[in-house]
Amino acid sequence: MEFADLDLNKLYSYADYFKWQFEERVELIKGKIFKMSPAPNFDHQVLAGEVYRDLANFLKNQKCRAFMAPFDVRLPKKSNEDKDIYTVLQPDVCVVCDTSKYDKRGCIGAPDIVVEILSPGNNAKELKNKFDAYEEAGVKEYWIVSPQDKTFLVNTLVEGKYVTSRPMTSGDTVTTPVLQGFSMDLKELFDTLD
């Protein structure tokens, strides 16, 4: 099957997704196919790598683990059966603290933290569709990093809804109650782009 053979108006499950062998990378959000951007650009990859490294180094020898795309995050609603899962995302970086949630195919259930680095052309998907999917699934924190304007937003789940931080930038420090003691200096992060 080729990507062009898919009916983009149809709803698909993880059972369908898992069978696809075409080269295009896609994500499912509530059963709808979203084609991922072409290979991420330099700034995207640098920031994703730096955020992953900071998290992975902090988590060394701890229960929580950091994962980097491509890594399927399956967000089930009613059952964990592949045929019943209609949202499968590949966040740039995620942290999973419940070891029962990861398996050989990725993560099943909400990660504790999801990080998405914005790329030109995918902002609407990141800022609306994924925001809604992560909020609905119960992801505790959804971090959005913009290389274009060097900003960092933290969306924190409070009573089932995200509360968004003020935009943080160089000079600010990211901390999180999800990972006590973790901090990330945004000046150091964004200076990697210069």
30 inside domain:
no
- The β-bridge relationship of strands 102-103 and 73-74 is unpaired
106 inside domain:
yes
Q: What CATH number is associated with residue 143?
A: 3.90.1570.10
Residue whose pair of structure tokens reads 């998405």 in the numeric block: 116
- pLDDT over 70 for what percent of the chain? 95
- 99-118 confidence digits (pLDDT tens): 999 999 999 999 999 999 99
Structure-block tokens of residue 32: 């709808």
> What pLDDT is recorded for position 194?
80
Q: How far is CA 139 from CA 60, 74, 85, 191, in A?
A: 22, 12, 16, 28
Structure-block tokens of residue 92: 């740039």
142 inside domain:
yes
Determine the structural domain holding residue 70 and report its residue range: 40-191
> How far does CA 30 lie from the centroid of its chain?
15
21 inside domain:
no
> What pLDDT is recorded for position 3?
84
Indicate the Cα dihedral angle 50, 87, 131, 129, nearest 10°: 110
15 inside domain:
no
Report whether 174 contacts 168 (CB < 8 A). Answer: yes
Task: Give the three-state DSSP class for 6.
Answer: coil
Q: Which residues in the chain show pLDDT less than 70?
A: 37-39, 121-126
Distance of alpha carbon 110 from alpha carbon 103, whole angstroms = 13
Identify whether 70 is preceded by a cis peptide bond (ω within 30 of 0).
yes
27 inside domain:
no
Specify the number of domains making up the chain.
Answer: 1
Task: Give the three-state DSSP class for 1.
Answer: coil
163 inside domain:
yes
> What pLDDT is recorded for position 181?
97
- 113-140 confidence digits (pLDDT tens): 999 999 876 666 667 889 999 999 999 9
Q: Residue 192 burial (CB < 10 Å; 0-12/13-18/19+)?
A: exposed
> What pLDDT is recorded for position 4?
85
77 inside domain:
yes
